[in-house]
Structure 1
């Protein structure tokens, strides 16, 4: 697998129940700590002005809040002086510090809200930038790269890791920044009161620093292992649930249940270790707090006895240190979220930093061909090749049907020609994009109806398409009639949880998107296979209309599609064994003739329609 120097593979931390799990070593890469920090700075750079302004506002808010303790100390001094003098304190004497306390509270609240709002806006901008980069790179990953890693790994990153980073950006990081500012400025305020208060407060630092170091050294690898274990667990669940019919058909329920249980136990055990780590962290942290508080109180007692400071000043120092409990706890506790978010960010950056696949050499071209496939060989992972040195030309406007038995390599060749899959060796050459028209578009039987209105679903192919153009595309594939009978016409919400479309309608929708995209080359991979016999004829007519006037490669599920094509190409065991018109091959007595005879024998008269 290709990596860059700043990427490391996730190969440890997840117990492998059996040898079949060796593929976990081919998970998508994780960025190093250095690269993750550099990537964070890159994401922040466009908004550095906002970052500086929000930092200044938070500094001002924290500084204003630190006026509270001296004001409370002043009130204590006034009360003490009154007790030594007249024995009472007049209301007027306390009015000014009380009013100032109210003003400080209002100003601190307003400036803190402003600073946190600016920080939140900054975080959302950075987060949006990260998501865009991740999704853009993830969509560009070769299909076989995702298959080697397992879709569960990518799914875990796009869900769990993005959620952790989002949560950190929205809450943990702003609070961590504010807590850190409070700690630094409060220690400075203690020094201003008397340097000996600062020295006493710093007695807690060695314990706190050791606690943080103890925690971080254990948390970083633990959370990394936890992310890997979660990804492996999710991958196993996807495989078990997604392949439930196959699992039941081969009586593998017990084996798959065991695998799910083992991966789940691994993830749970790591979560329990995380809980124990946090409990130990809190226990050590409290010891440091008590040491510092005792030190500040003793320093205040000694200094007041020596008349070096007033009772109010000693009170302010004690309040300052007590006020540190919250920020220090928050800062150190937020290390938990920060470490978890950092681990998630490293996994996201690992995907965004994946190098582009090197371009394959251009295929040798034929003077009169529109699309050229030369020497294409492909194998999945370390398995045997499914395609062997395939050469194929498509002429402009020609419809070529690709046929063969199951496992012959038809879908793989179709995906390679469409650019979805990169071949192990060899190359494909086709015309460059023209006037915004894509080079090739693939329509497969694995279609998806996106959640949204029917019009929005169609505009995925051409965002600027007018309603008239949408209706024309639907009419081309004979879908306008049923589309207009929907409750709200083109504005009807379709997809999961909304108005459902059957397989035939969903495939017509995909063909209408093909018409709107208007590619130079259309690739249909068994695009009518899911309709069933009742809708097959309608879908085949829709497909012919969508392909009219454009170059097309059609992976033919039904040989009636091959019969209407300009040329038929037969694949066997990943090799082209026949190529020519339907009538010629049907009478040649070769592989296609045998396929046609088998098809005609099972389909009867319908096969020749």
Structure 2
């Protein structure tokens, strides 16, 4: 388990608060917007292969569903001949009794067709939902294991648009378009067979519409496929910009950049709207061409019927049945061709989902090594999020088992980056990071998650019972284990006071926890996960004064018995640590105990003096709004 909290939007490399004069999450003035490396999109061949693979376990259900739909469609085709028989009976002056049997048969056909159609559509929907569920699970599994660096390069908007918009598009196609398309294709095929049975010349006349329809589809597909792919990317960029702007709202307001961000949101939204309007114009032309095909086909069938009846080759009833057959094709053909639009949208979305779902899982060593102890060693580490812009330079750090080390320094010094490298979230550009004497690459992602836990300054409270939220860290934990963990971080009293105790539903739309309570929840998860190494990245920075003091005590108790690395926003945490490591401009410039460094009169002593002066009025914590250097929009570490 690598994280029990989430980095804030303005602390990850893809969402850095900008220095004065630059836009958070974007380039500075006069600089072009950075190109994002979007998550992969599967090719058409790979998408089709993935669909076949997903369908393989459901082949019996697929065969049954389409068999039932075929039966329903065949029953429906009896309607036209029966109506033709009624026309012949009237034309030949037969008695009224001659109409009884055809009318009864028409009623029976309607009932049988309705029942079979309902059953077939239900089976097709079940098939689609099963396949979609498997794809969604595979997508989520891969998405959760994506390297954070890859997500940051793509921008969280890309992943968000796939999780929300693309999944919804495919789901709507599965629930609505897939059953309708299956029915339409079967109806078209069997109706053409029915026309041939009546007279092969009716079939030839009907086929005059096919070249126009095929040309229409080809014309539409050539333009629609790239358009919809571009539209999905534009929607992802729009969501990314909204996330950047809203996530960095405090920094945007602090630097008075609201107008610039509003303009950027408007520009991205306008691009998405323009692409949507292009799609509507394309669809209008598509339907206009289909109407032309209907006119040509129906006129040909009526003319053929007139000629054949005049030549006594067929009866009036047969010609009527042929016209009814072709007229009955209007709906299915239009539905099938109109569903090309939905199919293209769904295919574009499906390709984006498959592109992520087919990503290889993180490499796990065949025989992962085991850490010998809870030590940390960083040797010659350099790191840069962008080439030519190093964040860490030649960093060496050794932490002994059970030692608690505080990382301090100005914003942008590299503290958080170093913490993420040790937690295995990022891979250093150069140098090595070891846990228990084993390089992270030799441990493998699973072993790293068991060995080190990172708790950040902003945590997510999942919607659901409090007990379930805690069990994310240890699914087999008993209620007593949960209470013990809460008690250790000082949260048991307020947890017991909740309306339903551990069963109280918390999170969005339910009981809202305070900032301090949410952070205690993350620390309780840390206790439950019980890793030998724990990293707290400014885990008390978001709380107010009183809350910060509570969290400092909770953090200290959560770190008992394990190696601790604390990225200290509040220097009172550094003062109680076994050792203080001071970072500046990506380097370690001082290391020693609090007393030693204060006596040395160096960089740490200056930081401590400034801290002491700022809080000389008796407040040893940040303001109620969690104030600090990050609020000023300073560059993250």
Does 2:51 align with 1:46?
no
How far apart are the structure 1 equivalents of 2:116 and 2:68? 7
Return the offset for 1:588. 3.0
Taking the TM superposition and a 5 Å limit, the aligned residue runs for 1:480-499 are 480-499=492-511
Return the offset for 1:383. 5.3
RMSD: 2.8
How far apart are the structure 2 equivalents of 1:181 and 1:428? 61
State whether residues 418 and 442 of structure 1, in contact with CA within 8 Å, keep that contact through their aligned partners in structure 2. Answer: yes
Partner of 1:532: 544
Does 2:412 align with 1:401?
no
Return the offset for 1:381. 2.8
Partner of 2:209: 204
Distance 1:367 1:549, change over 3 A: closer
Q: Secondary structure of the residue that 1:571 maps to in structure 2? A: strand
The 10-residue stretch of structure 1 (545-554 or 46-55) with the greater mean CA deviation from structure 2:
46-55
Q: Secondary structure of the residue that 2:544 maps to in structure 1? A: helix
How far apart are the structure 1 equivalents of 2:521 and 2:281? 53
The 10-residue stretch of structure 1 (179-188 or 229-238) with the greater mean CA deviation from structure 2:
229-238
Partner of 1:465: 477
Name which structure has the greater RCO, CA cutoff 8 Å, separation 6+: 2
Return the offset for 1:524. 0.7
Taking the TM superposition and a 5 Å limit, the aligned residue runs for 1:41-440 are 41-81=52-92, 83=93, 88-91=94-97, 93-355=98-360, 370-382=375-387, 384-430=389-435, 438-440=450-452
How far apart are the structure 1 equivalents of 2:85 and 2:203? 20
1:344-393 CA deviation, whole Å, 9 max, x = no partner? 11222222334556789x9x999876233333322123351111232323
Partner of 1:600: 612
How far apart are the structure 2 equivalents of 1:90 and 1:606? 101
Return the offset for 1:292. 0.6
The 10-residue stretch of structure 1 (567-576 or 288-297) with the greater mean CA deviation from structure 2:
567-576
State whether residues 504 and 539 of structure 1, in contact with CA within 8 Å, keep that contact through their aligned partners in structure 2. Answer: yes
After the TM superposition, which segments of 4 or more aligned residues of structure 1 sit over 6 Å from their partners?
357-360, 364-369, 433-437, 605-608
Partner of 1:35: 46
State whether residues 374 and 532 of structure 2, in contact with CA within 8 Å, keep that contact through their aligned partners in structure 1. Answer: no
- Kindly tell me the number of residue pairs found equivalent between the two proteins: 586
How far apart are the structure 2 equivalents of 1:330 and 1:457? 46
State whether residues 70 and 316 of structure 1, in contact with CA within 8 Å, keep that contact through their aligned partners in structure 2. Answer: yes
How far apart are the structure 2 equivalents of 1:365 and 1:64? 67
The 10-residue stretch of structure 1 (453-462 or 390-399) with the greater mean CA deviation from structure 2:
390-399
How far apart are the structure 2 equivalents of 1:390 and 1:157? 38
Distance 1:585 1:359, change over 3 A: farther
Distance 1:289 1:21, change over 3 A: farther
How far apart are the structure 1 equivalents of 2:86 and 2:383? 82
How far apart are the structure 2 equivalents of 1:493 and 1:157? 28
1:111-160 CA deviation, whole Å, 9 max, x = no partner? 11111111111111111112112222222222222222222222122111
Partner of 1:504: 516
State whether residues 24 and 232 of structure 1, in contact with CA within 8 Å, keep that contact through their aligned partners in structure 2. Answer: no
State whether residues 364 and 446 of structure 2, in contact with CA within 8 Å, keep that contact through their aligned partners in structure 1. Answer: no
Partner of 1:9: none
Distance 1:147 1:437, change over 3 A: closer
The 10-residue stretch of structure 1 (235-244 or 451-460) with the greater mean CA deviation from structure 2:
235-244
Q: Secondary structure of the residue that 2:34 maps to in structure 1? A: helix
How far apart are the structure 1 equivalents of 2:373 and 2:493? 40
Q: Secondary structure of the residue that 1:386 maps to in structure 2? A: strand
Return the offset for 1:579. 2.7
How far apart are the structure 2 equivalents of 1:407 and 1:536? 22
How far apart are the structure 2 equivalents of 1:124 and 1:242? 34
State whether residues 437 and 518 of structure 1, in contact with CA within 8 Å, keep that contact through their aligned partners in structure 2. Answer: no
Structure 2: gaps of 5 or more residues:
1-26, 437-442, 622-637
Distance 1:468 1:581, change over 3 A: same
Return the offset for 1:49. 2.4
TM-score (norm 1): 0.90
State whether residues 69 and 116 of structure 2, in contact with CA within 8 Å, keep that contact through their aligned partners in structure 1. Answer: yes
Return the offset for 1:330. 0.2
Partner of 1:453: 465
Return the offset for 1:480. 0.7
The 10-residue stretch of structure 1 (294-303 or 428-437) with the greater mean CA deviation from structure 2:
428-437
How far apart are the structure 1 equivalents of 2:295 and 2:446? 73
Distance 1:174 1:119, change over 3 A: same
- Give the helix-richer structure, 1 or 2: 1
How far apart are the structure 1 equivalents of 2:549 and 2:479? 28
Return the offset for 1:603. 3.0
State whether residues 559 and 607 of structure 1, in contact with CA within 8 Å, keep that contact through their aligned partners in structure 2. Answer: no
2:528 to 502, 516, 523: 516
Q: Secondary structure of the residue that 1:530 maps to in structure 2? A: coil
Partner of 1:555: 567
How far apart are the structure 1 equivalents of 2:453 and 2:308? 81
Distance 1:65 1:491, change over 3 A: same
Return the offset for 1:170. 1.0
The 10-residue stretch of structure 1 (380-389 or 527-536) with the greater mean CA deviation from structure 2:
380-389
TM-score (norm 2): 0.86
How far apart are the structure 1 equivalents of 2:446 and 2:306? 84
State whether residues 376 and 391 of structure 1, in contact with CA within 8 Å, keep that contact through their aligned partners in structure 2. Answer: yes
How far apart are the structure 2 equivalents of 1:516 and 1:261? 45
Distance 1:372 1:365, change over 3 A: farther
The 10-residue stretch of structure 1 (346-355 or 333-342) with the greater mean CA deviation from structure 2:
346-355
Return the offset for 1:577. 2.4
